[in-house]
Amino acid sequence: MKIDPLQKLMQNKSLLIGSIIVLFLVVLAIVPSLFTSYDPIALDPTAILEPPSARHIMGTDEYGRDIWSRIVYGTRLDLLIGVGAMIVPMIMGTAIGLLSGYYGGKLDSLLMRILDVFMAFPYYVLAIGIVAILGAGTKNLFIAMWLVGWKEYTRLIRSEVMVVKNMEYIQAAKSLGYSDGKILFRHILPNVVSNSIVYGASDIVMCILAGASMSFLGLGVQLPTPEWGAIISGGRAYLSTAWWITVFPGVLLIISGLGFSLIGDGLSDLLRAEDH
């Protein structure tokens, strides 16, 4: 009755398509030089604001830089922001949610009040505020996103833990004399972590968009480093005359968002099915 993982993947359409898209992006990020021969930063005064053509398939910007090349080289940074800004809050939020849900009482009250403070601010207001204090830049962008992103994981995991900790198998683990640490990490965590993983897959989309938005606002990645949000921001002034500068990175942003969303959907189907 064994179904091998590959067969499972083939049956799960959204996971399959999502994985193909993300795999493509990952290849772009790892070996950008395979896909373009242009330098993403070098200026070319002879090819300023050229529309898409055989020479520059997505046109050029106001400094004559190839848009496709900038997009390709930007992929690495955007994926890094997406994954990096997702993973740290995921671990942090999951750990806080575990402790809060399992121990309850005063610890729970304290952690939940701290969480309330963070929840009180809209995502961007808090992120922009933190970057404003720390100063613009890629490093500070990460710090801001880590501080802002953990709370959803905490709420999700905490509520799950509160259900799971009353299950009989946790009582059984207690009656077997297991320590709290063992119960938390061996018996509760494996039963709640799928929620974090599923949420995380769609959170990557949020993080890529947020990273691009922050860069668009000039608070994240600084020019001339190629990054999708920054490219879109740079093309804003030429929107009516050179649409290709903003549209193509936008399309890539949408495609990558779609890819991670599909993976999230597929994972949730897969993990939920496994639970029942």
What tokens were used for 115?
A: 């969480």
Whole-angstrom distance, CA of residue 66 vs CA of residue 184: 52
What tokens were used for 74?
A: 């930007």
Task: Identify residue 89 by its one-letter amino acid code.
Answer: P
- Residue 249 beta carbon to other proteins: minimum distance, rounded to whole angstroms: 41
Helix (H, G, I), strand (E, B) or coil at 225: coil
Helix (H) or strand (E) segment spanning residue 194: helix 189-216
Question: What are φ and ψ of residue 60, in 5° steps?
Answer: -130, 165
Q: Considering the complex, state which of residue 139 and residue 275 has its C-beta at the smaller distance from other proteins.
A: 275
Within 8 A by CB and 6+ apart from 237, the residues are 62
- Residue 191 beta carbon to other proteins: minimum distance, rounded to whole angstroms: 6
**What's the gap between Cα 192 and its chain centre?**
20
- Residue 105 beta carbon to other proteins: minimum distance, rounded to whole angstroms: 14
- Residue 164 beta carbon to other proteins: minimum distance, rounded to whole angstroms: 10
Task: Identify residue 247 by its one-letter amino acid code.
Answer: V
Q: Considering the complex, state which of residue 123 and residue 178 has its C-beta at the smaller distance from other proteins.
A: 178
Report yes or no: 63 and 48 within 8 Å, Cβ to Cβ.
yes
The binding site for other proteins (CB under 8 A) comprises 167-169, 171-179, 182, 186-187, 190-191, 275-276
Q: Considering the complex, state which of residue 8 and residue 174 has its C-beta at the smaller distance from other proteins.
A: 174
Q: Considering the complex, state which of residue 51 and residue 185 has its C-beta at the smaller distance from other proteins.
A: 185
Q: Considering the complex, state which of residue 45 and residue 177 has its C-beta at the smaller distance from other proteins.
A: 177
Within 8 A by CB and 6+ apart from 136, the residues are 218, 219, 220, 222
What tokens were used for 269?
A: 């189907």
Report yes or no: 124 and 213 within 8 Å, Cβ to Cβ.
yes
Q: Considering the complex, state which of residue 113 and residue 276 has its C-beta at the smaller distance from other proteins.
A: 276
- Residue 4 beta carbon to other proteins: minimum distance, rounded to whole angstroms: 16
- Residue 89 beta carbon to other proteins: minimum distance, rounded to whole angstroms: 24
- Residue 190 beta carbon to other proteins: minimum distance, rounded to whole angstroms: 4
Whole-angstrom distance, CA of residue 65 vs CA of residue 92: 40
Q: Considering the complex, state which of residue 122 and residue 190 has its C-beta at the smaller distance from other proteins.
A: 190
Whole-angstrom distance, CA of residue 227 vs CA of residue 143: 18
